[in-house]
Amino acid sequence: MSLLDGEAEKCPHCGYMRGSQTFSREYLPPRTELAERYLVGNLVMQNGEGALYIGYDLEEERKLLIGEYFPRTLCSRNESDGRVLPRYGREAQYKALMYDYLEIAQLLQKLTESGSSGLVPVLDLLEAGGTVYVVYRYIQAVPLSTYLLKNGGELSWSQAKPMLMPLLKSLSAVHKAGAVHGGISPDTILVDAKGQLWLRGFSVPALRTAESELNCELFEGYAAPEQYAASGWQGTWTDVYGIAAVIYRILTGTMPVSGDLRREKDTLYPANLLNSSVPPAISEALD
């Protein structure tokens, strides 16, 4: 989302070729405008709940990210005007989950406005075209999984502790506000140039539950056992499992055994058996 200078045909930052249009018709085409303020760019990622686009604030002149509620099992897009329409017989489910999506975004907006660090800030909320859009601050960062690969695969506790404590504090604030993330993993935690961690990927609970009405998104090794069945009882403990699994990965360089498999036979080794430098108290806490 940088300006393309003069007559240049190729962007020097991302390689975009002037005039190229490569996008799925299921999603918003690049250059779509929302609320006469936000310019939609390319699709960044999608899952069973919706889509995330790179974007640009035409008023503030800055990059940002735009989330769109678009659960493909429950709705489709009208190609003529871009409106999102619930599928026949799925109207009630679509609206109920859209309310959940909006409620989570509103809660995150309040938390970030009250000073909770470590949560990717929500800047604006829009209801348009039959759906909901969430505008996020753009964080120049890489996923924790990428960061670990570039730093030898693992970190010591002395390196990890100052990075983790602010994130744990923010997660506690999320829980006190009555919300649960459900998808904590090295792919939903970002690391910026200063080493600060940012949690992204908040979603409706159905996305983090197997056998739900959405195409679920569970992160193997980090999803808790109760997330693998629709009858599982999820809560703040689900996030405790997820963040403990992430810390285990950080300190040992090893992805934990799938929570689904651990219900049948638990073969997970204590962290200090894989890395003797892990303090015993930390290893016990992770267990």
Domain boundary among 137, 160, 190: 137
Whole-number Å distance between alpha carbons of 243 and 256? 12
Beta strands in the chain (DSSP E): 33-34, 38-46, 50-57, 62-69, 75-77, 84-86, 122-128, 131-137, 141-143, 189-192, 197-199
Domain that holds residue 70: 33-137
Tell whether 275 is covered by a domain: yes
Residues 265 and 189 occupy one common structural domain: yes
Residues 100 and 145 occupy one common structural domain: no
Tell whether 15 is covered by a domain: no
CB contact set of 78 (below 8 Å; sequence gap of 6+): 84, 85
Look at residue 4 in the predicted model and tell me its pLDDT. 80
Question: What's the CA angle centered on 136, arms 134 and 140, to 5 degrees?
Answer: 155
Alpha helices in 122-270 (DSSP H): 144-149, 157-176, 236-252, 259-262
Domain boundary among 106, 137, 168: 137
> b/e per residue, 58-80, with b = 16+ CB within 10 A?
eeeeeebbbbbbbbbebbebeee
Tell whether 268 is covered by a domain: yes
User: Which residues on adjacent β-strands are paired with residue 125?
Assistant: 134
Whole-number Å distance between alpha carbons of 132 and 69? 6
> Residue 123 sits in a domain of what CATH number?
3.30.200.20
Domain boundary among 74, 108, 137: 137
For residue 196 the two structure tokens come to 């600060």
For residue 118 the two structure tokens come to 């470590």
Burial class (CB in 10 A: 0-12, 13-18, 19+), 158: exposed
Look at residue 16 in the predicted model and tell me its pLDDT. 80
Strand 62-69 with 75-77, pairing: unpaired
Look at residue 21 in the predicted model and tell me its pLDDT. 65
Tell whether 86 is covered by a domain: yes
For residue 33 the two structure tokens come to 């405008």
| Regions of the chain short of the pLDDT cut 50 | none
Whole-number Å distance between alpha carbons of 167 and 16? 35
pTM of the model: 0.93
Look at residue 17 in the predicted model and tell me its pLDDT. 82
Nearest to 82 by CA among 40, 21, 135, 19: 40
CB contact set of 46 (below 8 Å; sequence gap of 6+): 27, 52, 70
> Residue 215 sits in a domain of what CATH number?
1.10.510.10
Residues 84 and 132 occupy one common structural domain: yes
Whole-number Å distance between alpha carbons of 96 and 107? 17
CB neighbourhood size of 98 (10 A): 23
Residues 106 and 164 occupy one common structural domain: no
The C-alpha torsion from 216 through 82 and 61 to 103, rounded to 10°, is: -40
For residue 212 the two structure tokens come to 């739900």
